[in-house]
């Protein structure tokens, strides 16, 4: 690890944390313990994902509402428009509005047949994320974040098409892009250069995925077009039965990735927490962030 980095100054680092809606009571406990552990880092926002085909509307809504009720954290709800009419999506938006959501991560979503199958827009629906962004902006002046793909989205024939979609999302009102996870920082840097050359100037916030389970990450990466560098796979070789060492290696790798990005001038980070706090907590600490004293609201979360 780099011992000191001239560009590392904690007051210039901004973080956000992504969670997914829990399926069981135990998972909910784990999620809210993680929220409580990470809250003192004062994230810009925490986001809650939305299940494929709208399958987790209610859990997403419940999770966001509970975070609102029990903490002072700013939240963003992910929202997809796959397999739904505009009317249905707008009704969901109203429900989120009613629980206080003012920031969306607006997404098209994966085809209902699963990643890799052909996407077919709903006849009366938003055809892609750019249309969804426009629909959200027509509803209210939401803050809107969108996706970005440093290795391009697997459905995009080329980078031009991919970046053109990002441009449309920005033209319609998105003010932040969060990237798909990646492990090669050169790939991210090249992508940001391409995006800037296309006249897009919103923050392209790197999505950082600490590797809790290498096999799972490798499978998922294969589906969503993210590559696993050979050197990364080699780091986990032979450790299939050694969870403790895997976890130490994952921490070292993620820390190295974010510190290298800081040296390249990146100050905003979005962490895919997988609802677990420990690795992300350690990385934030390495970034120089220190928790503020727990607030009454945070204590309420911890006690719940
Ligand atoms: P868009 O921005 O509409 O398109 C992405 C790219 O695909 C574009 O660049 C475009 O060129 C290409 N493309 C799209 N449609 C076509 C087409 N018909 N033909 C050719 N090319 C096309 N999924 C969930 O279900 N729930 C979530 O909560 C969620 N959160 C996410 C958060 C982040 C930060 C990211 C990066 C992804 C997330 N996803 C989520 C996954 C996302 O839904 C999928 O990647 C989906 O396939 C594309 O959605 P999008 O909003 O990126 O699509």
| ipTM for the predicted complex | 0.97
For residue 72, what pLDDT is reported? 96
Percent helix, percent strand, percent coil in the chain, to nearest 5? 45, 15, 40
| CB-ligand 1 contact for 64 (6 Å cutoff) | no
pLDDT value at residue 114: 73
Is the minimum distance from the CB of 155 to ligand 1 under 6 angstroms? yes
- Ligand 1, atom 24, residue with closest C-alpha: 109
48 CA: nearest ligand 1 atom: 28
Buried b (16+ CB within 10 A) or exposed e, 224-242: ebbebeeebeebbeeeeee
Instruction: With beta carbons less than 8 A apart as the criterion, state whether 83 and 122 touch.
Output: yes
DSSP, collapsed to helix, strand or coil, labels residue 51 as coil
| Ligand 1 atom nearest to CA at 115 | 47
- CB of 176 shorter than 6 A to ligand 1: no
- In angstroms, the CA 65 to CA 28 distance is 13
129-139 vs 86-98: helix crossing angle, rounded to 10: 50
Residues annotated as part of the active site: 18
Locate the ligand 1 atom nearest the alpha carbon of residue 107 and give its number: 51
Q: Is 178 in the pocket of ligand 1 (CB under 6 A)?
A: yes
In the reported structure, the alpha carbon of residue 9 is separated from the centroid of ligand 1 by a whole-number distance in angstroms of 33
**72 vs 134: CA distance, rounded Å:** 28
| Ligand 1 center from residue 109 Cα (angstroms) | 5
Burial (CB < 10 A; 0-12, 13-18, 19+), residue 32, is: buried
- Name the phi and psi angles at 19, rounded to 5: -125, 160
Q: Using an 8 Å Cβ cutoff, are 2 and 261 in contact?
A: no
Cβ pair 99, 69 in contact under 8 A: no
So what's the pLDDT on residue 120?
86
**Distance between CA atoms of 149 and 226, rounded to whole angstroms?**
9
pLDDT the model gives residue 293: 58
User: Which residue's CA is minimally distant from atom 18 of ligand 1?
Assistant: 119
Question: Per-residue pLDDT tens for 121-178?
Answer: 899 999 999 999 999 999 999 999 999 999 999 999 999 999 999 999 999 999 999 9
Report pLDDT for 76. Answer: 98
Q: How many CB atoms lie within 10 A of CB 264?
A: 14
Name the residue at shortest CA distance from atom 33 of ligand 1: 147
CA of 108 to the centre of ligand 1 (A): 5
Answer yes or no: are the C-beta atoms of 118 and 154 closer than 8 Å: no
Q: Per-block average pLDDT, block size 10, for the chain (304 residues)?
A: 55 92 95 97 97 76 96 97 94 96 96 78 95 98 98 95 98 98 98 98 97 91 93 94 92 94 96 95 92 57 53
Rounded Cα distance between 213 and 250, Å, is: 9
Task: Output the CA 24–ligand 1 centroid distance in Å.
Answer: 27
Q: Report d(CA 206, CA 186) in Å as an integer.
A: 12
């Amino acid at each position: 690890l780099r011992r000191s980095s001239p560009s590392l100054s904690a007051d210039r680092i901004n973080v956000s944390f992504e969670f997914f809606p829990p399926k069981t009571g135990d998972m909910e406990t784990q999620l809210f313990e993680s929220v409580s552990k990470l809250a003192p880092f004062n994230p810009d926002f925490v986001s809650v994902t939305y299940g494929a085909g709208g399958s987790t509307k209610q859990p997403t809504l419940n999770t966001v509402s509970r975070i609102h009720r029990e903490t002072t954290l700013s939240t963003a709800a992910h929202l997809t428009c796959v397999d739904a009419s505009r009317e249905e999506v707008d009704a969901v938006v109203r429900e989120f509005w009613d629980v206080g959501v003012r920031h969306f991560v607006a997404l098209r979503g994966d085809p209902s047949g699963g990643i890799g199958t052909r996407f077919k827009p709903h006849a009366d629906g938003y055809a892609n994320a750019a249309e969804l962004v426009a629909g959200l902006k027509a509803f209210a002046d939401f803050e809107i974040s969108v996706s970005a793909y440093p290795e391009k989205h697997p459905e995009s024939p080329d980078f031009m098409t991919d970046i053109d979609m990002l441009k449309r999302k920005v033209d319609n009102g998105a003010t932040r892009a969060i990237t798909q996870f990646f492990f090669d920082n050169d790939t991210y840097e090249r992508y940001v250069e391409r995006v800037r050359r296309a006249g897009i100037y919103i923050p392209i916030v790197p999505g950082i995925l600490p590797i809790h389970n290498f096999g799972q990450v490798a499978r998922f990466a294969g589906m969503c077009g993210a590559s696993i560098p050979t050197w990364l796979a080699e780091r986990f070789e032979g450790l299939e039965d050694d969870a403790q060492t895997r976890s130490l290696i994952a921490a070292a790798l993620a820390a190295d990735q974010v510190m290298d990005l800081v040296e390249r001038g990146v100050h905003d980070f979005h962490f895919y927490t997988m609802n677990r706090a420990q690795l992300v907590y350690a990385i934030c600490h390495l970034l120089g962030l220190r928790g503020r004293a727990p607030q009454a609201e945070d204590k309420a979360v911890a006690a719940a």
